[in-house]
Amino acid sequence: MKKSRAPKLGIGLLVLGYAFALYWVFTRSTPVVSSRPITIRIAHWQIEKGPPDGIDAIIKRYEELNPRVKVEQVLVPESVYRQWVRSNLTGGTGSDLIEYGVWLDGLTDIPARYFEPITDEMMRPNPYNRGTKLEHVAWVNTFTDGLALQRLNAPDPGQFYAVTLTELSERLFCNRDLLRTITGSDRTPHTFAELRVLFRQVAAYAARTGRPVHAMAGARDNASWLMQFLLQGAMMESSQRNDRYGVLAVYAWDELGLYLDGRWSYRSPEARAGLTLMREVSLSMKPGFVQSTRDAATQEFLRGDAVFIFAGTWDGTSIRSQATFPIDVLRFPQPTKDDPVMGPYFYGRFADGGGGTAMEFYLNKQSPHPKEAIDFMHFMTSVEGNQLFTDHSGWLPSVREVRVPPSIAAYLTPLDCYTFGAEYMTLGSSVNSAVLRNFYLLAGSQGSVDQFVDAMEAEMPEAVRTDLRKEVSNRAIIVRPQDVAIMAKAALSRRAPQDASLLLARERLESSQTQSEALMLQMGRQLERAGPAK
């Protein structure tokens, strides 16, 4: 009797389980078919604590206002983001809105190939700002920085491509308890000279107590951000001198050309000064930090093994929500005019983050719902939408008139510093790769400025040429199809003369094409004059 009951029991359980699964799928899980006719997707790599919640809050409110549209947030780990973006865009399966950054290695052709300019929309007010102070302000001017950084990096200088969600800066996060334990005070350093004193105090404390604590949490990412910051500051006078166009900025393509003209190099005394400061800081990090990523530095700081961590405010929410100790947020203490290393090249306070906005979202040319995608871009960068982002992410807003919560007021960068935009590391993917590859030569007890400089100067001639050629070819990707677009707009405008927007679009395209083409020819000339790398 017992033998015949067991199979029946098993079958019964199987049937029960199947029935339960059916019930769950059809009543509790996400619908297989959305009840909303349009779905748009927004993809990004900012899966650290903060932004996903911010975007979720935007989506929730947007869907309330737009019942026809469903918005899906696609979170892609940073480690695979580049491959994910390229393979999806090539395969025609990319999200409607895609986060992109010019520093993403190996993707410099992506904007030109796959992203649609939104210049016309940028010249008009954001409809979601109705009833606010920004109601009649052109969309571009509603951003706290006027989209300055995005403009610097736009593939086509006459066009706008992206909206931004946040203002970024870089800050020193300080473990107040640990600082007090080591120094007897919670006074944070105000100058680089005071920071040097602190480095010595921490080293002495570690030696005395045997506790493995360092002044700065170390990882390749954090160290490279800091190096970029220090180099920019050290090279400020050089950047000003090399600003031949007089635009108070130096674009990456121009910096590459200036290198070929011999107007700067890592051998210059000011570059060496910046690298020397970086080496000083690297000696206050744990040995072997170059092998670690930023998560390791964050963990080191949260464990209480480092007094400071230099991080972008993009890590602020993660760090502050997980810390078990009070954290002070301060601007990195800069060298002064009498600094023994940087004093001779001191130009003035330089931007720690530049006050520029970031977390750039671009419109995929292949989006099946461009109108809805742009509408979502409008909402997320409206006063209401961006306020939701800030309140739920703990990140700064990118839009004016959005209230900044007191808890993150320290992230704001006042307009009290030089921002030249001149990057001496992320000029292009080849130069950036060379810097990161050789970084270990600068850092740690075995490293030196000379070793790093020698290695870089050996690689730079070829790396710069490669990156400048990429700049030319990226612009060609944009410029070539513009001939077709211009003809099409001209033909359509003739057939519909009452539609003034077609004529305006053609005129603007002709103008921006001429600008890009001229740039291509200039860069081509530069490459030709420089000849092959020796």
Contact residues toward other proteins (CB under 8 A) are 119, 122-123, 141, 144-146, 148-149, 151-152, 154, 157-160, 243-249, 351, 354-356, 365, 400, 415-421, 476, 479-481, 483-485, 487-492, 494-495, 507-508, 510-512, 514-515, 517-518, 521-522, 524-525
- Given the complex with other proteins, which of 80 and 487 has the nearer CB atom? 487
- Given the complex with other proteins, which of 206 and 249 has the nearer CB atom? 249
- Given the complex with other proteins, which of 44 and 86 has the nearer CB atom? 86
- Given the complex with other proteins, which of 140 and 271 has the nearer CB atom? 140
147 sits in the region (left: phi over 0; alpha: psi -120 to 50; else beta) called: left
- Given the complex with other proteins, which of 294 and 475 has the nearer CB atom? 475
Cα R_g (the chain), whole angstroms: 26
CB of 354 to other proteins, least distance (A): 6
What sign does the CA torsion over 438, 440, 443, 449 have?
Answer: negative
φ, ψ (nearest 5 deg) of residue 424? -105, 15
- Given the complex with other proteins, which of 105 and 483 has the nearer CB atom? 483
Tokens read off for 324: 């078990």
210 sits in the region (left: phi over 0; alpha: psi -120 to 50; else beta) called: left
By DSSP bridging, strand 69-75 and strand 38-44 are parallel
CB of 409 to other proteins, least distance (A): 17
CB of 144 to other proteins, least distance (A): 6
CB of 122 to other proteins, least distance (A): 8
- Given the complex with other proteins, which of 118 and 296 has the nearer CB atom? 118
Q: In what order do the strands lie in the sheet with 327-330?
A: 214-216, 306-312, 170-175, 327-330
What gap in Å lies between CA 249 and CA 243, rounded to an integer?
Answer: 7
CB of 267 to other proteins, least distance (A): 24
Burial 229-251 (b: 16+ CB within 10 A, else e): bbbbbbbbebbeebbeeeeebbb
Residue with tokens 């989006």: 367
- Given the complex with other proteins, which of 251 and 439 has the nearer CB atom? 251
CB of 420 to other proteins, least distance (A): 8
CB of 433 to other proteins, least distance (A): 27
Tokens read off for 206: 């570690």
CB of 34 to other proteins, least distance (A): 26
Note the maximum CA span of the chain.
97
CB of 237 to other proteins, least distance (A): 13
Residue with tokens 């009290």: 416
What sign does the CA torsion over 215, 220, 225, 230 have?
Answer: positive
User: Which amino acid is present at 156?
Assistant: D
What gap in Å lies between CA 102 and CA 37, rounded to an integer?
Answer: 34
Q: Coil, strand or helix: which one is 102?
A: coil
CB of 113 to other proteins, least distance (A): 10
What gap in Å lies between CA 272 and CA 265, rounded to an integer?
Answer: 9
CB of 414 to other proteins, least distance (A): 9
Reference 172, options 380, 319, 296, 16; nearest CA is 319
DSSP 365: T
- Given the complex with other proteins, which of 87 and 141 has the nearer CB atom? 141
Burial degree of 338 (CB within 10 A; 0-12, 13-18, 19+): exposed
What gap in Å lies between CA 61 and CA 69, rounded to an integer?
Answer: 12
- Given the complex with other proteins, which of 211 and 244 has the nearer CB atom? 244
Reference 175, options 167, 186, 184; nearest CA is 186
- Given the complex with other proteins, which of 305 and 510 has the nearer CB atom? 510
Tokens read off for 390: 């800030």
